Every structure is written in C-alpha cells, then in structure tokens.
Structure 1
C-alpha cells in the first residue's frame, strides 16, 4: 500500500518535534544500543514497512523484521535494530504505537473474517469511512492485512446513493424516474443504493440498480428478503450495514447477503507490544 513520505515524517514529528530532551540531558545520545520489539499476545502483525521507513530516517540498522501479515506468538521478537541511543529512543514509542494499533486492527479483522466465513465462506467483510480522522492510511492498510477490504475509500470512488441524496430528487420515486439517465452516466461503475426497507429494496431492484445496502435491518428480515431479491436479479449485490460487530456478525453472515459493512474494526483493542532497549559494549 502506498503511504507518502510526508505521512511517515508526520508520525515521527508528532513524537519528536525537535529533540529527545531526556536523552540529551542524560548525555547518552551517542552510546550504541539495540532495540527489540516483541508481542505479549498472539496477533497478526501490521505496520512493519512503515516502521522500517522511520528507522531508516533515524539511521538505525535493522537486523530482523517480520513483514505485515505475519502470525506472531506471545513472547516472539519480530523486529530488532541497532544504532545510537538518541535514535533508538526517538524510534521507540512512535514505532510501538504503529505496531500496537495496526496489529490490533489486523488481528480483529482476521478474527471477524474467520467468524463470518465459518457460516458463509463466500461472505465479504468491508469497512466504512468512519475511522478516526488522520489515521486513514494506516487503518486501511491494517484492515487489508487482516483480510478485509475498504467498502469505500472516498466520495470520488463509487456511486452510493443515500436517503440524503434522494431528498433532493423527489424521494425514491423521483430517483427511479431518473435512473436510466443516471446509469448512462456511470455505465462503467456499479450503482449502489441504500434501502431502509425490503419494500424499497424490491422497487429499486426492479428498477435496475446494481446493488442494495440495507441499513439496520434485522437478520431475520434479511433472511426472508435475500431470496426474493435474488429471484428478481441473481446478479444483484446485497450488503448489510448498521451496528454490525463481532457479537452479531455470524447472524448477519447467515442471511445470504454478499457483504457486511462495519465500522467496528477501527476500534479494535491495541495489541500489547513490548519493547526492550539495551546498551551495547
């Protein structure tokens, strides 16, 4: 995944705006040392490539590094580097934070995918645009490392029609009347529409939309609706969204929809990553 240099530099600058004052005051900056990152719990590792770029900027020599996507076990060292104490301490916390949070998202994503695919091997897990501002690049990478996919990276990417759009078009009926012209404009893209009821979904399906996103419909309602809609258009893409977490994921996966849209991955508990810095003689 492409993450610009300015993003990497900003991550480092947030923690080290000027100097590491403590290392400077102690007078240990030029001493040689080694830093080792290890995990205190089993996890899916994520963030290594960004950490390596930070370490390169700090002139640290990396001797061991496992790539993002690696399964790591409690107690396992997955990255080791050497250099000056001042550089090791500047790398310490910013890199630990990347590993903590990115690995947390990747691990939870892997767990949710496994949970969903146990009941529906063909189901997709996709994430919303509702992540914490300023963390999008790393969050999306972590989701993909865990095996899921971003539902929508931004407004310029896909056509996804909500009720907020329909309010300017005379409601659902006004939108359906304009649908042939709309589809002509986006002939190379799928046209997905949010439906708040099965009845609206049937109308939209018969009108020729490419997909429906149902918001906050119960698994029981979706179970009954999916066969009806697929009978009208077997190629119709069906998504379930709204409050989907690891607690109800399996129930939604059993409904027969093609994908589950969730925000919960972004709030994954960080992995407990440990760090040890030692002096070298």
Structure 2
C-alpha cells in the first residue's frame, strides 16, 4: 500500500458548504476592480509554493489551498502529502494557470495554508511533548476559535494529530458554571439537559471542586471537566473519585484551563483522560509560505 493510500483523508470530512466559504473569502479579497491583475494579464505561468520560516513544520490545509485555485481555473500539483513535516526552504507545490488568476488567489490561499499549518504544527508539538512525559490520554483543542474560520482551525488540529473537541454548541452537551448557576444546581442542570439531549449526546460538566465533581458523577455526567485544578490536588481528587465510583458509574476526567508547554508535564498525568488546551490554536505562530511566479524558460 502506498503512503498516499494509507494516509488519513481528512478532506473527506468537510461539509458540503465548505467550498462556498472559499468563494466568500475570494469575494472578500476582491470586492471591486483587480488593478494588479490588469497589469499582468492572462499569460500562462507556473508558480512555486515555498515553505519558509525557521522551523520544522507540518503541512495542513491542502484542500482549501487547492479549492482557491480551482475556483480560479488553475491547477495545483502537490509535491508532498498533507500531514508530512518539512524543513524550510521546501518546494511544497506548483500552481499552474493564467498569471492574473494565480495572483487573484495568492493571498487568500497563503493565509489559509499558513494558519492551518501553524495549528497543525503546534498541535503535533504539544502531543509529542505530552507523549514524551508518558501521557497516554487524549490531547484536545477547544472551541475558542476564530468566528467564520473554525472549519479550517479544527481541520488543522486533526492533521496535527490531536482531538478537535466539540465543533459547536450542538456537538455535545457541555454545562459550564454559567449554566449551573442559572439552573440552580449541577444535578438540576444535568436533569434538564438529559431531557432534550437524549441518549446520543455525551454530557460534560465543568466543576471547580471535588464536591462538585462528586455531584456531577452522581447525577450521571459522562465527562467531568476539572477546571484550573493542578498538581497534587488534581491527582488526589481524581484518585479518590475513581475509587469511590469504581463499578458504579462510567465517566472520564478532563483537565482544562491555562495548559501550556511550560506546565504541561505536571498536568499530563494518566489519571486524566483528556487534556484540552487553546495553546494549539490561539496566538499560534503561522507557518511562512510564499508563492513565486516563475519566468518562462525562454526569457
């Protein structure tokens, strides 16, 4: 089996609406006249996509990049697979088409690829770091994504090898402190949510203490998010609760809140099933790409 055939085709996950988002991004970038396009005309050219910067990076966002140029009548030939790592400077792909159309899509395509690859790169770094500490659980992102760009950012997490967590408010029932305060108690909030969520949705509850976690487990929560709980407290609380509820309830523990590279080791304990962090997508360094039009060989 070839490497291409054995890889994960994450583009197959994309919803039917995703191509219309690309259309909207292109429309946003050229709302009126394309003055630069008037200058260059429609000669057929090819452009090299170069991966630059100063770090080893993960390539992510191929479907979005390709679709930008497909909508402009150009073709993209990839020279590496999505999810592969590369060292700069790397000739990642070649774009062929009318020079005016290549330049129409240049900035939109590069921005998509830079952001998506940056998230994939950081996701892989965090996962690899957690594994180096012996952590065997799930590393996940969060829903603290950019409005209108969530699809690309969650896609980057997948390519980087982590769990994207819930995509929206309909993906899973998550009851946080505001839900609980507004409904009156953890137990009441869970009971109300179960009435409408049915059997097919997992129910997660954010708690700030062992007592709240105990109540959530007793009320039937599937996942207990131990928010901003760290160190020995985190270990002792999870151990006591697992011992108390052993054989009585099935649940998972998630740790979230201010998880970074610097404190990951103390949070990456196997008493915790899920570590969720926004460090993999908020304020993440983008990967530097450029698109260079090539001169015809006879010039």
TM over 0.5: yes
Does the residue aligned with 2:78 lie in a helix, a strand or coil?
A: strand
Partner of 2:276: 261
For residue 144 of structure 2, the aligned residue among 115, 118, 130 is 130
CA 1:189/1:59 → structure 2, altered by over 3 Å: closer, same or farther? closer
Partner of 1:82: 96
- Per the TM alignment, residue 174 of structure 1 is displaced from its structure 2 partner at its CA by 4.5
Q: Is the 8 A contact 2:56 2:86 kept in 1?
A: yes
- Determine whether 1:148 maps to 2:170: no
The 10-residue stretch of structure 1 (107-116 or 47-56) with the greater mean CA deviation from structure 2: 47-56
Aligned positions, number = 277
Q: Is the 8 A contact 2:137 2:270 kept in 1?
A: no
- Per the TM alignment, residue 255 of structure 1 is displaced from its structure 2 partner at its CA by 5.7
Partner of 1:91: 105
- Per the TM alignment, residue 15 of structure 1 is displaced from its structure 2 partner at its CA by 1.7
For residue 180 of structure 2, the aligned residue among 166, 191, 203 is 166
Q: In the aligned structure 1, how far is the partner of 2:188 from the partner of 2:69?
A: 56
Q: Which runs of 5+ in 2 are unaligned?
A: 1-12
Q: In the aligned structure 2, how far is the partner of 1:269 from the partner of 1:184?
A: 40
CA 1:157/1:279 → structure 2, altered by over 3 Å: closer, same or farther? same
CA 1:66/1:246 → structure 2, altered by over 3 Å: closer, same or farther? same
Q: In the aligned structure 2, how far is the partner of 1:208 from the partner of 1:122?
A: 25
Partner of 2:42: 30
Does the residue aligned with 2:100 lie in a helix, a strand or coil?
A: helix
CA 1:226/1:29 → structure 2, altered by over 3 Å: closer, same or farther? same
Q: In the aligned structure 2, how far is the partner of 1:15 from the partner of 1:279?
A: 26
CA 1:63/1:146 → structure 2, altered by over 3 Å: closer, same or farther? closer
Partner of 2:25: 11
Partner of 1:237: 252
For residue 187 of structure 1, the aligned residue among 176, 196, 199 is 199
Does the residue aligned with 1:150 lie in a helix, a strand or coil?
A: coil
Q: Deviations over 1:190-237 (max 9, x none)?
A: 322111112221233244322210111123210111111211335320
Does the residue aligned with 1:263 lie in a helix, a strand or coil?
A: coil
RMSD (CA atoms): 2.2
Does the residue aligned with 1:38 lie in a helix, a strand or coil?
A: strand
- Per the TM alignment, residue 157 of structure 1 is displaced from its structure 2 partner at its CA by 1.8
- Per the TM alignment, residue 102 of structure 1 is displaced from its structure 2 partner at its CA by 0.7
- Determine whether 1:277 maps to 2:293: yes
